[in-house]
Amino acid sequence: MAKKYNISVEATLEVIGGKWKCVILCHLTHGKMRTSDLKRHMPNITQKMLTQQLRELEQDGIVNRISYNQVPPKVEYELSDYGRTLQSILDSLCAWGEQHIIKQYGDKFAVLEDNVLNR
């Protein structure tokens, strides 16, 4: 029997919900990244959680895992074509978050880390 949802946003949150998936996806909107690059941009995520979230996003067809046949092994992740369809959702989440930070704290740069996503 097919899965049933009460409202379509449940299907969206099933794929990109949680603390880290949208953050991973926002970083990948800037291009391919290795796991170590993602970890550097997300210092509070554990390696285990990062790996788990990337696997789930890959299983859902949101990201592509690119394995290079070389020594040492090299793996990169990128948004799939299907994953790129989330761009407007991610942009909206970022814009709302920025407005919320300004409303709560006044100066967004007082609370946002200095990284490529916040410029």
Q: What is the pLDDT of residues 17-76, one digit of tens each?
A: 999 999 999 999 999 999 999 999 999 999 999 999 999 999 999 999 999 999 888 999
pTM (2 d.p.) = 0.88
Q: Quick check: is 46 in a domain?
A: yes
Count of residues in the chain: 119
Q: Which of 73, 67, 77 is nearest to 31 (CA)?
A: 77
Domain count within the chain: 1
Instruction: With respect to residue 44, please indicate whether it lies within any of the assigned structural domains.
Output: yes
pLDDT at 119: 67
- Examine residue 82 and state whether it is found in any structural domain, yes or no: yes
Q: Which residue do the tokens 């490529």 mark? A: 116
Strands of the 74-79 sheet, one edge to the other: 33-34, 74-79, 63-68
Residue 116, domain member (yes or no) = no
Beta carbons within 10 angstroms of residue 28's beta carbon: 25
CATH number at residue 91: 1.10.10.10
